[in-house]
Amino acid sequence: MKLQSFDDKVGSGSSIIHHPSSSQSGMAVIVVMTILSIILIYVVGNLRMLHHLSRDLKLVEQKQIRRLEGTNAPNNRLISTNRPSR
């Protein structure tokens, strides 16, 4: 049994195999790297904004806790009652 070589499978030049030139491959690499860079910029921007929002949320929470602690504190004022005058 004889194994067919690549040339026998392709034929005697009837079908032409096109390989992309090096400039086309290089351009594809540049396009892919550009797209990845844009995505990375968006991810970094979103992470930074998330950090700032988290910090702002903590500040608002602390302010609300301080405000609510002031309303829950017992009243230290003397409570005047209606006493009958003598």
Q: For position 59, what pLDDT does the model report?
A: 96
What pLDDT digit, counting tens, does each position of 42-55 carry? 999 999 999 999 99
Task: Provide, rounded to the nearest whole percent, the portion of the chain with pLDDT above 70.
Answer: 62
Is it the case that residue 74 has pLDDT exceeding 70?
no
8 Å CB contact between 45 and 52: no
Q: For position 18, what pLDDT does the model report?
A: 67
Residue spans per domain, the chain: 43-69
Q: Taking residues 27-55, what's their average pLDDT?
A: 97
Report whether 30 contacts 38 (CB < 8 A). Answer: no
Does this model's pTM top 0.85? no
